[in-house]
Amino acid sequence: MSEAVYGAKCTACGAVSYPRHLVCPKCRGEAFQPAEIGGEGVVLTYTDVYALAIDYDVRYLRLAIVELDGGLRVTGQLLDEEPKLGKRVRTTVGVVRETAGKAIYGLQFVPA
């Protein structure tokens, strides 16, 4: 299960947040259920970043904000050789960072 990405679904109003909050930004509810994050959407914006954080042994990272169908937005890594604003993509889950030998899983986007 560590290979899925979860947000939080407010049990009062049903809004899904990614990241989770302790209080729902929509209705101020305080009870949540985990909600798996993923599906298809469109690239809202992307960048190739050469100013990298520690832990990356690559020349650059291609990052994107994707608006999923339904409206939820997520940040993740874009695995697409021909990125374009508005292009349809779908989410996968993969290793997005390795810190001190520990793999961290997160969202990646591939052409839909």
Contact residues for another protein (CB under 8 A)?
A: 17-20, 25, 44-56, 60-61, 63-65, 73-77, 85, 96-97, 104, 106-107
In the complex, the smallest distance separating the C-beta of residue 30 from another protein, rounded to whole angstroms, is 18
Comparison of 9 and 77: residue with beta carbon closer to another protein: 77
Q: In whole angstroms, what is the distance from residue 5 CA to residue 38 CA?
A: 8
Comparison of 17 and 35: residue with beta carbon closer to another protein: 17
User: Cα-flanking dihedrals φ and ψ of residue 48, to 5°?
Assistant: -100, 115
In the complex, the smallest distance separating the C-beta of residue 52 from another protein, rounded to whole angstroms, is 6
Comparison of 30 and 98: residue with beta carbon closer to another protein: 98
In the complex, the smallest distance separating the C-beta of residue 45 from another protein, rounded to whole angstroms, is 4
Comparison of 30 and 48: residue with beta carbon closer to another protein: 48
CA angle 61, 65, 71 (to 5 degrees): 160
E-strand spans in the chain? 6-10, 16-17, 32-36, 40-49, 61-68, 73-78, 88-99, 102-111
Report how far Cα 13 is from the mean position of its chain's Cα atoms.
22
